[in-house]
Amino acid sequence: MSVLVWKLTPGNTSPTLTPVTLSQPAETLDESSRLLPGGAYTTFRTYEGSKALCLGEHFRRLEETARLAGKSVQIDEGALRAALRQILAQASPTSERRFRLTLDLENCPGVVYIASEPLMNLPPSAYQEGVRVITSNLQRQLPQAKLTRFIARAEPVRRSLPPGVHEAIMVTPDGRMLEGLSSNFFAVKNGELWTAQEGVLAGVTRSLVLECAQRMNIPLRGEAIRVSDLPALEETFISSSSRGVLPVRQIDEWVIGNGQPGTLTRKLMLAYQECIRERAEPI
């Protein structure tokens, strides 16, 4: 099913929401992003049909990315929520959806494009057994900013992932493992939870995972694990709004721990699910 796109245009009296006809059909959110003006973007999913998690944080991420890109843009949160509700009213109330908001920073700064597609959940086996990932030397040019231009740069890496490989983890020239193409990366070493603090996107889901870890008194290290540490790692996982907490059982040729999701990962998976139940709010 093709991605559907709308345009929310600010106005003197009230914003206007209009459907967008793309120059060609887009089968994924990434494809739709390449057909829209460049700008800041954020992606989230719905829960129970019309709820979202930390939606205000997603809006603030758009504004922060715009600021880092040298643009001062303020989101009309009320209008954007109303537009999302209007779009959801046209969808099946029993289906979950994935949204991407793109804040135009090139043609008409302030315009927000809303792209939507049905949410395709990973099979239960991915969470029960963990997934395989590989490393990549791709780097973000402006690490703290979530700009659509990175989607085009990451696409060749994404398309070249070997069969059975779920994600690519970006690694610096000196071997520090930062984050995935569309996820944050975590590792457990000596009972401590490691994740890069610098050179990565401050993901909304990442922040919730760290909050869960702190509540559970899991020791935290705000540092990037190095590729040379892979043989010593006990557990690894990635996180994103669509995936939640997803265990990683293998990185390149290295099997992590015993090749199964570890104890801390499983605890954080359960804690994150509880966080969703407690904090998902009506859009």
Q: Residue 212 maps to which CATH number?
A: 3.20.10.10
Per-residue pLDDT tens for 113-132? 999 999 999 999 999 999 99
Which among 3, 46, 34, 47 is positioned nearest to 21, based on CA atoms? 3
Structure letter (DSSP) for residue 162: P
Q: What is the pLDDT of residue 14?
A: 84
User: Two tokens at 229?
Assistant: 């540490």
Domain of residue 55, residue span? 4-118
Burial of 153 by CB count in 10 Å (0-12 exposed, 13-18 middle, 19+ buried)? Answer: middle
Stretches where the chain sits below pLDDT 70 are 1
Asked whether 226 and 177 are in contact (CB, 8 A), the reply is: yes
pTM: 0.94
Q: Give the Cα-Cα-Cα angle 15, 21, 27 (nearest 5 degrees).
A: 115
What is the total count of domains within the chain?
A: 2
Based on the fold, state whether residues 135 and 198 are members of the same structural domain: yes
Based on the fold, state whether residues 236 and 107 are members of the same structural domain: no
Q: How far is CA 261 from CA 97, 195, 224, in A?
A: 27, 17, 20
Q: Name the phi and psi angles at 227, rounded to 5.
A: -55, -35
Domain boundary among 93, 118, 143: 118
Based on the fold, state whether residues 192 and 206 are members of the same structural domain: yes
Asked whether 154 and 138 are in contact (CB, 8 A), the reply is: yes
Q: What is the pLDDT of residue 13?
A: 77
CA pseudo-torsion sign 205, 209, 210, 215:
positive
Q: Residue 69 maps to which CATH number?
A: 3.30.470.10
What is the β-pairing status of strands 244-251 and 131-136?
parallel
Based on the fold, state whether residues 63 and 14 are members of the same structural domain: yes
Q: What is the pLDDT of residue 1?
A: 64
Based on the fold, state whether residues 225 and 176 are members of the same structural domain: yes
Helix (H, G, I), strand (E, B) or coil at 92: coil
